[in-house]
Amino acid sequence: MSFNLRIHLYCRRVPVFVVFVLLFVVSIATFAQEEPPVQKPQHYMIELLGTREGWPENMTPDEERIMSEHYLYLKDLTARGKVLMAGPVFGQFGLIVLEVGSEDEAKAIMAEEPSVVQGIHTYEMYPMVASLMAAKVPPFRYVEHPTDKVLRKEITVAAPLSDVWECWTTTAGVEGFVAPKAKIDLRIGGPYEWYFATEAPPGEQGSEDCRVLSFLPMEMLSFEWNAPPSFGWRRYIKTRVVVQFQELEPGVVKVTLSQLGWGEGDEWQEVYDYFDSAWGYVLDALKKHFES
């Protein structure tokens, strides 16, 4: 007997309203079953163990090179939020605490760790729960010695000030004019994330791990920003963006965007040139949003 026929016969025995309620409950239960579970971060303590007598007091020059690679590898993972802490427990072992999505991810990280790959260390891994963690901004979150360079763009938009403000300071606003997905919580330290590559792995979709730095309602918003994954290590060093809103007359707003915190050299110039074009696209999209 088909599903539709069974429903038809059942409706002849009970009031239609009861059938409607039952179907509604079934549909909600089905939806709840299909909701993917929220993936909580998992923590692992790694114990790095030396592989020869006298380590590490008598390191060879080649081993010093490998340990430099080890440090840079962990520094990159710290910037990406995968390493919570790392360092030597003197005379005993090396310590790494990971925050990852799964045990497989933790093992993959250690499978590429330079000192393990090149035979200086073996390791033991223990699952743990990091119940309490102090909030601390790592010193390499920003360029240590930023230049005076400022990337500045501005545009005039025909729209109410409140509408323009909403475009930059709410999830729905950003999704409405420039990005397919976003996550914005307008508070100091709140997430300020635009996602452009929604099919990419987490951490490579957009401005993940960027935060609101400060704001004056209807006047100014500042936030962290990062480069796309194609820029390698430069992605994990944040620049800062300041967006100013000036109502020239009712229904006309000037938006001025300034990006600062640039490093020196050709590698940072490449990032600057990329955003010189990208922010022009964003401001044009804002204007077109209100013209359509």
Q: Is the pLDDT of residue 24 over 80?
A: no
Statement to judge: residues 274 and 155 lie in one domain = yes
Mean pLDDT confidence for 79-87: 88
pLDDT at 268 over 80: yes
Helix 16-34 crosses helix 3-11 at what angle (to 10 degrees)?
A: 140
Residue 244 or 144, more confident: 244
Question: Residues 184-240: pLDDT tens digits?
Answer: 999 999 999 999 999 998 889 999 999 999 999 999 999 999 999 999 989 989 999
| CA distance linking residue 223 with residue 193, whole number of Å | 10
Residue that terminates a domain, selected from 128, 153, 182: 128
Q: 139 falls in which pLDDT band (50, 70, 90)?
A: confident
Same structural domain for residues 195 and 223? yes
Any idea what the CATH number is for the domain that residue 48 is in? 3.30.70.1060
pLDDT band for position 37 (cuts 50, 70, 90): low
pLDDT for 157 = 97
Last residue of a domain, one of 105, 128, 151: 128
Q: Do residue 171 and residue 248 come from a single domain?
A: yes
Same domain? For 100 and 165 the reply is no
Is 232 inside a domain boundary?
Answer: yes
Whether residue 277 is found in the same domain as residue 152: yes
Instruction: Tell me whether residue 23 is in a domain.
Output: no
Above 60 in pLDDT, residue 163? Answer: yes
- Average of per-residue pLDDT across 159-176: 98
Q: What percent of the chain has pLDDT over 70?
A: 87
Task: Tell me, yes or no, whether 266 lies in a domain.
Answer: yes
Bridge-based pairing of strands 220-225 and 239-249 is antiparallel
- Best-predicted range by mean pLDDT (21-30, 70-79, 261-270): 261-270
pLDDT at 271: 98
Flag whether 85 is in a domain.
yes
Both 92 and 176 in a single domain? no
Q: 123 and 147: one domain?
A: no
What integer pLDDT is reported at residue 111 of this predicted model?
96
CATH number reported for the structural domain that contains residue 260 in this entry: 3.30.530.20
Q: Does the pLDDT of residue 36 top 50, yes or no? A: no
Give me the chain's average pLDDT, please: 87
Average pLDDT in the 84-103 region?
92
Contacts of 93 (CB under 8 A, 6+ apart): 47, 48, 49, 50
Total domains, the chain: 2
Give me the amino acid identity at 141.
Answer: R
Residue 167 shares a structural domain with residue 114 = no
What distance in Å separates the CA atoms of residue 78 and residue 155, rounded to the nearest whole number?
A: 37
* Same-domain check for residues 158 and 124: no
Q: What is the pLDDT of residue 269?
A: 97
284 & 163 share domain: yes
Identify the weakest region by mean pLDDT among 14-28, 132-146, 147-161.
14-28
Predicted confidence at residue 79, as pLDDT, reads 78
d(CA 223, CA 231): 20
Question: Does residue 201 sit in the same domain as residue 61?
Answer: no
Average pLDDT over residues 6-22: 39
**Inside any domain, residue 15:** no
Q: Which contacts of 184-193 are long-range, i.e. CB under 8 A and separated by 24 or more positions?
A: 184/212, 185/212, 186/212, 186/215, 187/212, 188/212, 188/213, 188/214, 192/223, 192/224
160 and 285 in a common domain: yes
- Return the structure tokens found at 34: 């299909």
Would you say residue 253 has pLDDT above 70? Answer: yes
Q: What's the domain range around 93?
A: 42-128
Does position 280 have pLDDT exceeding 50, yes or no?
A: yes
